[in-house]
Amino acid sequence: MPDRSLTFIIGGARSGKSVHAESLATALPPPWAYIATAQAYDGEMRERIAQHRSRRGEGWATIDAPLDLAGALEALPDNQPVLVDCLTLWLTNHMLADHDLEGECRRLADVLSRPRGPWFVVSNEVGQGIVPDNALARRFRDAAGRLNQQIAVVADMVLLMVAGLPLKVK
């Protein structure tokens, strides 16, 4: 029976989320799909994207989905290991485009509730710091917290990354 599960990997910045998600995916037979949500708005982000690509190496097909993440997931073949990195950048893209966040998040959660293979989804935990000092940052923190809760509910496994170590939450 094929593995049709959703593993949600969440943690703070530089906690080891992406590296751990990649190790989980590459423990399975290739080909692997990497769905990237980042947009290279500046040189620093271009460098981050390049580092991620070079670290992954051979066997990965990269799909850019800065906005239509649900559509990208639906277009993939069954039983393919998939890594989505990351939900918070995807959410940022929708906020900057002034899209319907609730609707987009519901659509994504619906697709993720029906994985057609081993799917690994990375997100940032943004709610453990201080209260942001501006409305946009508070709106983002709140939206990210709600999205992370939605995905945790539909996930088969939730891992919290702390200092490079995965802690099983669900």
Q: 5-168 — its CATH code? A: 3.40.50.300
pLDDT band at 74 (very low <50, low <70, confident <90, very high): very high
The partner residues of 161 in beta bridges, in order of sequence, read 11, 166
| 52 among known catalytic residues | yes
pLDDT at 88 over 70: yes
pLDDT at 101 over 90: yes
Domain boundaries, given as residue ranges, for the chain: 5-168
Distance CA 50, CA 19 (A): 14
Name the residue with higher pLDDT: 82 or 131: 82
Task: Report pLDDT for 69.
Answer: 98
What are the DSSP calls for 84-148, one per residue?
EE-HHHHHHHHHHTT--HHHHHHHHHHHHTS-SSEEEEEEE--SSSPPPSSHHHHHHHHHHHHHH
Distance CA 11, CA 125 (A): 5
Catalytic choice (20, 52, 94, 99): 52
Mean pLDDT of the chain: 93
pLDDT at 82 over 70: yes
Around Cβ 145, how many Cβ atoms within 10 Å? 13
pLDDT band at 40 (very low <50, low <70, confident <90, very high): confident
pLDDT at 1 over 60: no
